A and B are shown apart, each in its own frame.
Chain A
Amino acid sequence: MAHTELAEEFVADEDRARWHDQALWFVRAKRDAAAREVPEWEELRCRAAAIKRHAAAHLADYLEQFESEASARGAQVHWARDAAEHNRIVHGILAQRGAKLVAKSKSMLTEECGLNPYLAARGIRVVDTDLGERIVQLRAEPPSHIVLPAIHLRREEVGELFHRELGTPAGLADPERLTAAARSNLRSVFLEADAGITGVNFAVAETGGIVVCTNEGNADLGTSIPKLHIACMGIEKIVPRAADLAVFTRLLARSATGQAITSYTAHMHGPRPGAELHIVLVDNGRSQLLATRRDREVLSCIRCGACLNTCPVYRRSGGYSYESVVPGPVGSVLGAASEPEAKASLPYACTMCGSCNDVCPVRIDLRGQLFRLRQDLVESGLMPRHKRVAARLASWLMRSPRRFGIAGKVARWVLRRYPNSSALLAADWTAARELPRVPERSFRELYEQRERERRR
């Protein structure tokens, strides 16, 4: 389905749409306050953008450096061309060691690759240990936000879910008690898991270390008890030096949730003594984006979610309306750049307000990318015919002031003479709003008259 239809469905429940909007605006406001505490905020954004652009430009070198440094520290590095290869590799590692239960911390990459259903189909139970992810997993839903996976749910709905799935008392909706219930439920998973799978926020080429940021400590716990840790990362997560991390850890949590830093920032350099660390480097279309100059910039994304929180359309249409692993502005860019046909409606799920550009900690020109993707879609013939014809017609009219003047006159006459039929013809406008009150004469007519009178 197109974003249009799903968004209209979401917004039909106006109270819910408004609640969703306010929940996310609250996060945006916290982000603003956190950013203002850092006087050099804008310089940090520039620095982060420069580091990411540099890393992308030298990605092959940094990846090889990372591989050799990580290997030197005892990690095993795997390369996956696409989602299928990633899933095969992860399953292979788990199967070889007879792992049956996996504690997984948040990773958008494994969502992208569809790892959970792949492993489940092969008899391996994967439990998401991030609270929000756990909630959507229990509901058999995908995350609706990349940082706040269950932001589309009200606490009462979580209460009902936990009552059904975890046996909490009926009607319990207190967030603290619900969290405690999830914690005790997850505790046994942490203790019994055969392996821990995590995502990666940053991978440092210079040291071969990986950094995982969470607020719940679930990545630390999930990798501290089992003897096997598999870290899955997109190849764009590389930063050149350990010193670069300071720039990103200062930006990430402030942009994402308005915290100064995530509660846990785990730096992992090689496996724990007696344990194994596998790092799976996944391409899955990234080098294709890298090869296209205009799409390259989006690889800088650090998945903070700030563009989702600020996007007035995302806030009022919900994550599922994008039908993509990553929703919101950056998801629309990723989606339409990688699968233009399937995601043709996404670049239009945008008013071109540009707020995403200004919150983005790595200064991706999201607005500009969406604008350019629209041009690409039209050039590839992916725009509906009636719209293409409308644009051609408008351009033809506007290439001549005479045609424009006549068309304007006719339109104004029709609007004045037949307001009701005009309203019917413009149903998408008039469903919620009145048509403009139309004047008898246009500015150019009034101006010409004025000039004539002056000359007299």
Chain B
Amino acid sequence: MPESVSNMRVGLFVPCYVDQLTPRVGLATLEVLARCGVEVEFPGGQTCCGQPMANMGCGADARALAVRYAEVFADYDYVVCPSGSCTAMVRHHYPELYAGTAAQRAVWSRTYELCEFLTAFADLDRIRGSFPYRVGLHRGCHGLRELRLGACSELVHERGDTVAQLLRRLDGLELIELERADECCGFGGTFSVDEPGVSALMGRDRIRDHRRAGAQVIASTDVSCLMHLDGLLRRQRSAEKVMHVAEILAAAGQ
């Protein structure tokens, strides 16, 4: 731990769709961080990281947002974000799309996904409580294969598991074992509407895997995957619920 959390100024980056569609995940993030002694600020100038445009191929349209992001968070020691995907966009893809100034690159590189941030800086003993459910952890691809938040099934190297390690701290929580530990759910941003049939089949296959393993809750670091899976679950009138990892950590502590 490089410095004391209490002396750091930490900005909260809430992805646009979390802001508009699942504000409860933003609130849960605030709560978990507060419990760990991290007071964060949400600068109102923030909007979207630009990933949808960049993934469409319109990187030029995303560039303005990369610049804006660096301005909005310039005065913070760290930025924390409850999304692996948006964090990967900021940290890995901004510098690819746009060289930026040293100062801009510095802001991008000190952006952390929530579980990463907690693991790096927080007193993990404060992550506790009870969540007596069988949880299936859906790995968001960008959090997994770009930020390496967990062990990747393709790689032979042993790796820590940032997300599972946090969830395992909770009493009663049982992490179920999936047949395909980290297959993509098929959301893929605009892919979900460009190839809706393939996207939906991928999602239904993920749900089957979780169901077979007896999951009551499907958890993820990314609301985007969960929004897609939840849409499929509700269409099937299924009993499984989706929850962001922050929501589980927050609910357990109450």
Contact = CB atoms under 8 A, between A and B. Distances in A.
- Mostly, the A contact residues are helix
A434 B234 contact: yes
Contact of B16 (A313, A387, A398, A433): A398
A399 to B, nearest CB: 6
Given A398-B47, A443-B18, A446-B27, A18 B142 contact: no
Contacts of A32: 153-154
Most interface-central of B59, B191, B201 (chain A CB within 10 A): B201
A308 B157 CA distance: 22
Contacts of A433: 200, 203, 228, 231-232, 234-235
Interface string B77-94: 000000000000000010
Contacts of B195: 3-4, 7-8, 313, 317, 348-349
A164 to B, nearest CB: 32
Interface stretch (A60-68, A200-208, A355-363): A355-363
Contacts of B235: 432-434
B155 interface: yes
Contacts of A392: 58, 61
Interface in B200-254: 200-205, 227-228, 230-232, 234-235
A423 to B, nearest CB: 11
Interface string A1-22: 0011001100110100110010
A429 B193 contact: yes
Contacts of B145: 353-355, 357-358
A375 B98 CA distance: 12
B191 A354 contact: no
A353 B188 CA distance: 8
B45 interface: yes
B131 interface: no
B192 A429 contact: yes
Interface string A76-106: 0000000000000000000000000000000
Most interface-central of B142, B145, B198, B199 (chain A CB within 10 A): B198
Interface stretch (B104-112, B169-177, B179-187): B179-187
B56 A352 contact: no
A310 interface: yes
Nearest to B63: A395
B162 interface: no
Contacts of A18: 201, 205
Nearest to B23: A443
B59 A401 contact: no
- Mostly, the B contact residues are helix
A18 B195 CA distance: 16
A412 B44 CA distance: 19
A387 B198 contact: no
A429 B198 contact: no
Given A348-B191, A398-B48, A446 B202 contact: no
Contacts of B18: 443
B7 interface: no
Contacts of B24: 439
A447 B44 CA distance: 9
Nearest to A3: B195
A354 B42 contact: no
A399 B23 contact: no
Contacts of A375: 54, 57-59, 97
Interface residues of A, number: 77
A4 B197 CA distance: 9
A42 B18 CA distance: 37
Given A412-B20, A443-B18, A443-B23, A387 B56 contact: yes
Nearest to B68: A399
Interface stretch (A33-41, A214-222, A256-264, A282-290): A33-41
A444 interface: yes
Contacts of B198: 7-8, 11, 313, 316-317
6 shortest A-B CB distances, which residue pairs?
A351-B188, A433-B231, A374-B57, A432-B200, A395-B61, A358-B154
15 contacts: A42-B155, A310-B154, A317-B198, A352-B191, A355-B183, A391-B61, A394-B48, A395-B58, A395-B64, A399-B64, A408-B16, A408-B19, A433-B234, A444-B42, A447-B26
Interface of A: 3-4, 7-8, 11-12, 14, 17-18, 21, 25, 32, 35-36, 38-39, 41-42, 310, 312-313, 316-317, 347-355, 357-359, 368, 371, 374-378, 383, 387-388, 391-392, 394-395, 397-401, 404, 408, 411-412, 426, 428-429, 431-436, 438-439, 441-448
Interface of B: 14, 16, 18-24, 26-27, 30, 42, 44-48, 50, 52-62, 64-65, 68, 93, 96-97, 141-142, 145-146, 152-157, 180, 182-184, 186-205, 227-228, 230-232, 234-235
